[in-house]
Amino acid sequence: MKDPQAVLREEILSAVRRFAEVEYTARPFVPGTTPVPVSGKVLDGNDLAALVDSSLDGWLTAGRFTKTFERALAKYVGARSALFVNSGSSANLIALSALTSPKLHKRALKPGDEVLTVAMGFPTTVNPIFQNGLKPVVVDVELATYDAISSRLREAVGPKTRAIMMAHTLGNPFDLKTVQELCAEHGLWLIEDSCDALGSTYDGQRTGSFGDTATASFYPAHHITTGEGGAVFVKSPLVRKQVESFRDWGRDCYCETGHDDTCHKRFQWQLGDLPLGYDHKYIYSHVGYNLKATDMQAALGASQLDKLDGFVAKRKANFKHLSKRLKGTEGLILPKATKNSDPSWFGFPITLDPELPVNRENLLRFLDSRLIGTRLMFAGNIMRQPAYRNLDFRVVGDLTNTDIIMKRTFWVGVFPGLTAPMLDYIADSILEFITDPKNRTGA
Kindly tell me which of 165 and 383 has the beta carbon lying closer to ligand PLP: 165
Is 222 one of the catalytic residues?
yes
Backbone angles phi, psi at 69, to 5 degrees: -65, -45
Query: Shortest approach of ligand PLP to residue 169 CB, angstroms?
Result: 7
> Which residue among 168, 186, 222, 286 is the active-site one?
222
Kindly tell me which of 122 and 393 has the beta carbon lying closer to ligand PLP: 122
Kindly tell me which of 124 and 201 has the beta carbon lying closer to ligand PLP: 124
Query: Shortest approach of ligand PLP to residue 433 CB, angstroms?
Result: 27
Kindly tell me which of 225 and 429 has the beta carbon lying closer to ligand PLP: 225
Kindly tell me which of 16 and 234 has the beta carbon lying closer to ligand PLP: 234
Q: How far apart are CA 250 and CA 261, in angstroms?
A: 17
Kindly tell me which of 188 and 231 has the beta carbon lying closer to ligand PLP: 231
Kindly tell me which of 120 and 253 has the beta carbon lying closer to ligand PLP: 120
Query: Shortest approach of ligand PLP to residue 165 CB, angstroms?
Result: 10
Query: Shortest approach of ligand PLP to residue 124 CB, angstroms?
Result: 5
Closest by CA position to 338, among listed 117, 146, 209:
146
Closest by CA position to 161, among listed 396, 391, 402:
396
Query: Shortest approach of ligand PLP to residue 113 CB, angstroms?
Result: 21
Q: Which residues bind ligand PLP (CB under 6 A)?
A: 87-89, 92, 121-122, 124-125, 167, 193, 195-196, 217, 219, 230
Residue nearest to ligand PLP (CB): 88
3-state secondary structure the chain: CCCHHHHHHHHHHHHHHHHHHHHCCCCCCCCCCCCECCCCCCCCHHHHHHHHHHHHHCCCCCCHHHHHHHHHHHHHHCCCEEEEECCHHHHHHHHHHHHHCHHHHHHCCCCCCEEEEECCCCHHHHHHHHHCCCEEEEECECCCCCCECHHHHHHHCCCCEEEEEEECHHHCCCCHHHHHHHHHHHCCEEEEECCCCCCCEECCEECCCCCCEEEEECCCCCCCCCCCCEEEEECCHHHHHHHHHHHECCECCCCCCCCCCCCCCCCCCCCCCCCCCCCHHHCECCCCCECCCCHHHHHHHHHHHCCHHHHHHHHHHHHHHHHHHHCCCCCEECCCCCCCEECCCCCEEEEECCCCCCCHHHHHHHHHHCCECCECCCCCCHHHCCCCCCCCCEECCCCHHHHHHHHHEEEECCCCCCCHHHHHHHHHHHHHHHHCHHHCCCC
Burial class (CB in 10 A: 0-12, 13-18, 19+), 58: exposed
Closest by CA position to 396, among listed 125, 151, 142, 96:
151
Query: Shortest approach of ligand PLP to residue 415 CB, angstroms?
Result: 13
Query: Shortest approach of ligand PLP to residue 234 CB, angstroms?
Result: 17
Query: Shortest approach of ligand PLP to residue 323 CB, angstroms?
Result: 21
Kindly tell me which of 76 and 146 has the beta carbon lying closer to ligand PLP: 146
Closest by CA position to 144, among listed 383, 363, 409:
409
Catalytic residues, which ones?
Answer: 222
